[in-house]
């Protein structure tokens, strides 16, 4: 059981229990699959961005937003925001009532309520709109941030912790030999980048529907060299996005 502690504010469920809950288990492709993968890549483009057909319900982009190669980390986004920034904290988060003057921002132990958020809470919309989806805004209407269901589907493929051009991350290989690589880009809390090369943290497009009167948590997919599964974190933090398309 483990936690990645970015700060005392970073709420993260242990990865092993989450992986078990999602049925996740690292499976490594055999030699034949690896050979086929090297010889058969079915890459296509949409709005000048490459995708790979892995035989799933959606096609996955080959790169993160802000990257030009699969192993590049790319940009970091707060949940529901469409541009990178220098400070990933509640003080700069777009969806807070009162904005930067919200009186609760100076109290790091404060638990936000649904009324503290303007547009999104688990009592209204669990998924953000297209105008709040960094993938759609940056790459066009055919792209979006993956859902929980779509990440679960990806996790059913053969996957292994790999190193590409000196960058660690998780590689997924489909039965047709196609593959994608999600680099371990870590995440940003306030202005501090942490856990680079150690953990993959990728936003989903959904808030965390827990049993409490809170709305500050959003879902992510978390992976390291040992395991992976869905998790959640404060949505003001900066994590990667790997877009998908139909």
pLDDT in tens, 161-185: 999 999 999 999 999 999 999 999 9
pLDDT digits (tens, 9 = 90+) for 32-68: 444 444 434 444 999 999 999 999 999 999 999 999 9
Q: C-alpha distances in angstroms, 78 versus 1, 24, 38, 51, 218?
A: 26, 26, 35, 24, 10
Task: Scan for tokens 């809470």, then name that residue.
Answer: 121
What torsion do the CA atoms of 246, 229, 177, 62 make, to the nearest 10 degrees? 50
Burial 22-38 (b: 16+ CB within 10 A, else e): bebebeebeeebbebbe
| Predicted pLDDT at 224 | 97
Please tell me the pTM assigned to this model: 0.83
User: Taking the mean position of all CA atoms in its chain, how far away is CA 146?
Assistant: 8
Of 241, 237, 210, the closest CA to residue 146 belongs to 241
Count other C-beta atoms under 10 Å from residue 10's C-beta: 15
Domain regions of the chain by residue span = 23-245
* Tens place of pLDDT per residue across the chain (246 aa): 334 433 333 444 333 333 333 444 444 545 444 444 443 444 499 999 999 999 999 999 999 999 999 999 999 999 999 999 999 999 999 999 988 888 888 777 788 888 889 999 877 778 999 999 999 999 999 999 999 999 999 999 999 999 999 999 999 999 999 999 999 999 999 999 999 999 999 999 999 987 576 789 999 999 999 999 999 999 999 999 999 999
């Amino acid at each position: 059981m483990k936690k990645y502690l970015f700060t005392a504010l970073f709420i993260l469920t242990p990865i092993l229990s989450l992986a078990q809950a999602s049925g996740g288990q690292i499976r490594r492709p055999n030699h034949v699959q690896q050979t086929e993968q090297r010889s058969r890549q079915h890459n296509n483009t949409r709005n000048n961005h490459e995708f790979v057909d892995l035989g799933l319900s959606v096609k996955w982009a080959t790169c993160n937003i802000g990257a030009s190669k699969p192993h590049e980390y790319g940009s970091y986004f707060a949940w529901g925001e469409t541009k990178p920034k220098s400070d990933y904290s509640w003080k700069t988060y777009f969806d807070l009532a009162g904005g930067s003057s919200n009186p609760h921002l100076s109290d790091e132990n404060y638990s936000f309520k649904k009324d503290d958020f303007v547009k999104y809470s688990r009592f209204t919309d669990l998924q953000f709109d297209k105008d709040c989806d960094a993938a759609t805004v940056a790459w066009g209407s055919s792209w979006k941030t993956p859902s929980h269901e779509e990440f679960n589907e990806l996790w059913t493929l053969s996957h292994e912790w790999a190193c590409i051009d000196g960058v660690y991350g998780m590689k997924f290989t489909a039965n047709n030999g196609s593959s994608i690589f999600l680099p371990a880009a870590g995440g940003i809390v306030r202005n501090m980048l942490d856990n680079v090369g150690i953990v993959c943290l990728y936003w989903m497009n959904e808030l965390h529907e827990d049993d409490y009167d809170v709305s500050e948590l959003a879902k992510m997919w978390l992976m390291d060299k040992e395991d992976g599964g869905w998790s959640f974190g404060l949505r003001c933090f900066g994590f990667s996005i790997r877009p998908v398309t139909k």
